[in-house]
Structure 1
Amino acid sequence: MNPNPHLPESWPSFEDHLKPDVRDESYQSVFDFQARYRFAKSFQGVNVEGYSPSGSTVDDYSALLKIFFVYAAMEQLCKVLKKQPVAVSIISPTVAKRVRKELYGNGNTRFAESLRKCETNGSRKSLEAFWNGTSDDIRPILTTLRNGFAHGDFTPAGLALRSTGRREILLDLADTVLAYMNESFTEWVVEEIARRDSHRVVEPSEDVNR
């Protein structure tokens, strides 16, 4: 059982198996992923002076920050898995439907217009597939939200997040990606333990006649 609910579930198994090689630098990316995942999973928001506690600004920014930290963890997991973030596919029909219905709407909402402004040549095709409902892969949405927020293009007001329901969609998006990372890391741990076991040197049995 994982004693820390904010760590990947398979982290204790990985750590137990790694003990003989705890200083192995080839696992640095794994420890970096653990740190980013733990922070993103633990993140509950920020406290900011000078803002009304009854307003939504701080909570809205906290939701976007959650997206930012989750994406950072996903980037690090991709290094562990040796794949590019654009190659990751996170299918979630439930979250995808909510994003399309409640945030994108008919394509004329402020959220939709803001995301279209941040489309790149590389993301346009996958985003179009998402918006028209032929794909339920939420990874392109995560990437676009992260990039727009990190580069200063997105604000809560600009995305029209000023409602608890819309903010909750972003938090559910983040939680879904965290769940994907947890499962993907578990699969990697199982494969890595098997790989290490297959390469482990078996000591010859002692000669009983000696």
Structure 2
Amino acid sequence: MTNLISLSPELAQSLIKWVTIGSVIFGVLTGLGAGLTFACQSILDAESDKKIALAQKGAAEARLATEKLKNILTYRSVSDEQAKKLGLLITKKPKKIVIYYTGSDVESFFYSQSLFKAFESIGIDCDLFASSSVIYQEKEIFIYSRDPIISQSFSEGLINSNFDADWIPSENKPNFSGVPSLNWRPDNPDSIMMIVSAKAPPAF
């Protein structure tokens, strides 16, 4: 047994030295490997987070575009909630409402019919007339009456019922270029002229 390995003291010392150096090198390489693995994983995680963020942004933009398209294509109408509010908020009711809409615009006609039914359901007599020209205004509904109190009260009732409305002061004659039929003036101070704007053309 004592003759299996015979090493000189110098050789044994050299072996110990190289084993020690090898152990140190192995430890360093192991540490470098762990650090490199962590760094690579961090890069992958960051890239993954970036892709997730981009995907979420794209999904949000798609939802926004869908809602925009939905708003453009959906016909306006008087909701049940709006109709209920109208009956509660419009305390000074006019004797008659004459509704004007763009005759060539199906959506404008649909909305005007919806308004017509809502007002008649709360006891207001209505007439519906088509304009031969397109009516585009900054508000969906304009109210005019010779009685400014009725105009303001009625338009405020509409606004508080979530309608996009405004009123024209009685001293100002409604002036809608190219719409001669809108020169009609209510004969009765208790009557109202309602102008329904057409939706603006879609813009993408």
Q: Give TM-score, length-normalised by structure 1.
A: 0.29
Higher strand share: 2
Structure (1 or 2) with the greater helix fraction: 1
